[in-house]
Amino acid sequence: MLILDFSIRVGTFNVNGQDPIESLRPWLCPPGVTTATSDLIVLGFQELDLSAEALLISTTTLKEDLWCEALMRDLAELGDEYVKLTSKQLVGVLIVVLIRRPILPLLAPSGVASSSAGVGILGTMGNKGGVALRLQLMDTALVFMNAHLAASAYAVPPPDPNQKQPLFVGRGPIPADAVIERRNADYVSLTGPGGRLNFTLLPRTPSAPPTAVGFWDSHVAFFMGDFNYRIDLLDDEIRAFLDDPNDKDYSTLLKFDQLKVQQQLGKAFGSMTEGPIKFKPTYRCIIGQKEGHYWDAKRRPAWTDRILYLTARGKEKTVRLVEDSYKSFPAISLSDHKPVCADFIVQVEEMDRTLAETRMKQLIKNLGRLPLEQDVPRIRLSEDFIDLGEIRYLRPVVRELKIQNIGIITAYWRVIPLENGGPLHPDWVTVHPTSGVLLPGDSVSIVVTTTITNGIANELNAGAKKLEDIVIIRTIRGKDTFLPINGTWTRTCLAYTPSALVRLPGPVRTSTTLKNAQLPPEKASSSPRELMRLINWLMKNSVEFDDLFEKSGDPQLVDQIIEALDTGDEFTFDEKNPDHGVALAFGSALLLFLEEMPEPVIPYGLYAQCALTSSREQAYEILDTLPGLNANMWISITAFLHFFCQQDRRAKTIGVTHKIARLFADVLWFDSMTMPLTNRLSPLTRVGFLMFFISPH
C-alpha cells in the first residue's frame, strides 16, 4: 500500500460583490515563500455577484473568470506550479480547486465530481446555497463544500410574540435573531439524510450505471463558507471584550458563538471539528480598513466565516489529518468580510490491487456454497463482558472488543436500545461503530469509551447511580447478543454539590454516601474543606507569582492535588520553597473545583440583584441575602483574590485585577446560551460585580 501526505489549504471569502482589486497572495500562500507549499488550494467564495440579474440566472462565468485570473496572477511568482483543476458556481457561491502540476497524475480516472443546491427561494433563486466538489486522490475521497447560509441577524419579520427572546438580566434583550433555525435547516438540507446535494460518480465499466453518493460518503469532508452565525451578546459587550488585552483567546465571546452553541445542541455541524479560533471576528468590517477596530459600528462583530472538517473512522479506513493553522487576513480589506484559511496535512492511500484481488478470491472460496433459506447469521464477541475498571472524573477509559462472523452467510448487525425510543447505549459510555456488515469469517473492532462529566458525576458521588448497564447487539435474522458493561467509580470532590460536601464527616474518598452517615445541618462545615485547603495553600505560597491563574498548571500536578483533596492526604509539596509550577497547578485546581461545581456560588435567584448593583455598598448588601454556605464560599474566594490583587506591583495596574475578575466570573456564575433565555447574566455584569469585591482601588 502506498501512503502519501498531502498539504491542503482551504479558504473562504465573502467578497461582497467586489472585484479583486487587491493582491490575494497572503491568503493563497505564506508570506516570503518562493515555492509552492500546498498541493491543493481549495477556495470558497460567497456573494461573488450581487446584481439583480444574478439572483435569477447564473449562466455567466464573468465573475468567476475575473477571480480565477486574479488567483493565478498572484500565484505566478511561484512559477508555473499551479493549474486550475475544476470549479463549481451557483449564483454568487463559487468553489475553485487549484492543484500543483506534479499531483495531477495521482487523481483517479473520473476522480472529479461536482454538485450544487440552493437554499433560497424555491431552493433555486437567491444567493444562498452550497456548491461542492469531490476529488479522489489515489484511493482516498475528499469532499469540499462551500456554502452561504441564511443571513439576517435581526428578526424579519418580527419575532413571534409567544417566543421567549434572549434577555440579559438588568441589561435588556439581545437583538432578536429569527434565522438561527433557518441556518441549521440550511445545513441539514445540504448534508442531512435525503439532502439535495449529491454527486454522480461515473461507473468503472461502461455497462454499469452511475452511482449517486452524498456529502458524507467520503474519507475526509471539508465545509467552508459564510455561515452567518453571530455572537449572542450585546454590541457593547462584544466590543468591550475585543478591546480587552486580557481576552486575546476570545474565550468569553466564543461561549456565546451561535455556531458553537448549535454544535453543542446537536442541531448543526455536530460531528464536525473546527480548529481553535485565535483571530478577530471577520464580519462586518469597514472596507479599506486593515488594522485596529475595523468593524462597522452598525453591526455586531461576528465570526461568520468558518472552516470545519470531518475524517472517516472505522475498519476500512481511518484517515490521519492534522490541522496546521486556522487564521484570517485583516490586511485584505476589499470586502466587509475578512478572508479565512486553514492548512491541513491529509494522509492519502492507494491500495495494493494484487493483494485486494487475492483477498477477494479467498473470500469467494470461503463462501463455499450459496446460503440456504434456513441458514441464519451468527456472530461471536471476543469478550463476554466489558470491565472498564477504575473510572475517574474527566479521564477517558477505552476498551476494545471484536465482533466476528462465525456463520456461513453475511451478518448485518446493529446496536439497539434497551427500550423502544431510548438511546443506543447508556449515557455514561459511547459505542463505535453502532452498525455494520460482516462477511463470513470477517471481524470488526468495537470501541467502548467512557468519560464521566459533570451531571453524571454528581449522581455517582451521591450514590444515586451505578456504572452497570447492558448493550444489545442485534443480528438481522439472527439472535440478539447481550454485552454487560460495568466500571468502578472513584468518588471525587469535583462535581460534588457544596451543600453535600460540607455534611460529609471526612474526605470524599473515605466517606460513605449513606444519608444516615451525613452530619446533621447544625454540625456541617461552614465551607467545603477542599475549597479552604486550596485557598489556604495559595494564600501562603503563591502570591509572589504574577502569572497565577493566567497560565495553566501541569495536569499531572493538578491530578495530584485533587487526589490529596479526595483522600485527605497532606500535600507533598515543599511549602518553604514554593515552586512556580506547583503554584500554577494549585491555581488551576481552584479554577477546576469551582468550574465543575453543579451549582453556582451565586444562586440563580439573585442574578437580578447582581445585575442592578451599581456600588460596592450595594454589592456587600447582597451578601446578607446569600445562604450561609454560599456567603462563606464567596467571602473566602474574593478575600483571597483581593489579597492577591492588592500586592504593590499589581495594585498599580487595574488590568491585572480585571483579568482575574474575568477568569473567576466565568466559574462563580454559570451562564451560557444553553441556559433559560431569560435567566442569564451578561459577562460584563459578572465582571463588574466581582470587581466590587476584589479591586484594591
Rg (CA), the chain: 29
**What are the pLDDT digits (tens) for 120-136?**
554 444 568 899 999 99
Q: What distance, in Å, lies between the first and last C-alpha atoms of the chain? A: 68
- Answer yes or no: is pLDDT of 368 > 60: no
Quick one: pLDDT at residue 315?
A: 45
Indicate the residue among 326, 350, 374 that finishes a domain: 350
Within this chain, do residues 335 and 360 fall inside the same structural domain, yes or no? no
Cell numbers describing residue 40? 491543493
Within this chain, do residues 105 and 245 fall inside the same structural domain, yes or no? yes
Mean pLDDT over residues 601-608, rounded?
Answer: 87
Which domain does 342 fall in, by range?
Answer: 2-350
Mean pLDDT over residues 194-198, rounded?
Answer: 76
**What are the pLDDT digits (tens) for 244-293?**
776 677 988 998 999 999 999 889 998 899 999 999 999 999 999 988 78
Within this chain, do residues 387 and 338 fall inside the same structural domain, yes or no? no
- Where does the pLDDT of residue 355 fall: very low under 50, low under 70, confident under 90, or very high at 90 and above? confident
Q: Confirm whether pTM is higher than 0.85.
A: no
- Answer yes or no: is pLDDT of 158 > 50: no
Indicate the residue among 465, 489, 513 that finishes a domain: 489
Within this chain, do residues 344 and 359 fall inside the same structural domain, yes or no? no
More confident: 329 or 249: 329
**What are the pLDDT digits (tens) for 544-585?**
888 899 899 999 999 999 999 999 999 988 877 878 999 999
Alpha carbons 692 and 687: distance in angstroms, whole number: 9
Q: How far is CA 282 from CA 29, 226, 293, in A?
A: 19, 10, 11
Closest CA to 453 of 528, 499, 392, 400: 392
Q: What is the Cα 304 distance to its own chain's centre?
A: 16
In a domain, 512, yes or no: no
Quick one: pLDDT at residue 176?
A: 56
- Where does the pLDDT of residue 106 fall: very low under 50, low under 70, confident under 90, or very high at 90 and above? very high
- Answer yes or no: is pLDDT of 308 > 90: yes
In a domain, 170, yes or no: yes
Within this chain, do residues 422 and 306 fall inside the same structural domain, yes or no? no
The kind and range of the H/E element at 71 are helix 62-75
The kind and range of the H/E element at 87 are strand 82-90
- Answer yes or no: is pLDDT of 475 > 90: yes
More confident: 147 or 679: 147
Average model confidence (pLDDT) across the chain: 87
CATH assignment of the domain containing 450? 2.60.40.10
- Where does the pLDDT of residue 171 fall: very low under 50, low under 70, confident under 90, or very high at 90 and above? low
**What are the pLDDT digits (tens) for 371-422?**
565 678 999 999 999 999 999 999 999 999 999 999 988 899 999 998 888 8
How many domains does the structure of the chain reveal?
A: 3
Within this chain, do residues 536 and 443 fall inside the same structural domain, yes or no? no
Indicate the residue among 297, 317, 350 that finishes a domain: 350
In a domain, 573, yes or no: yes
For the chain, how many residues are written? 697
Q: Which residue has the cell 475517574?
A: 392
- Residue 542 is classified by DSSP as T
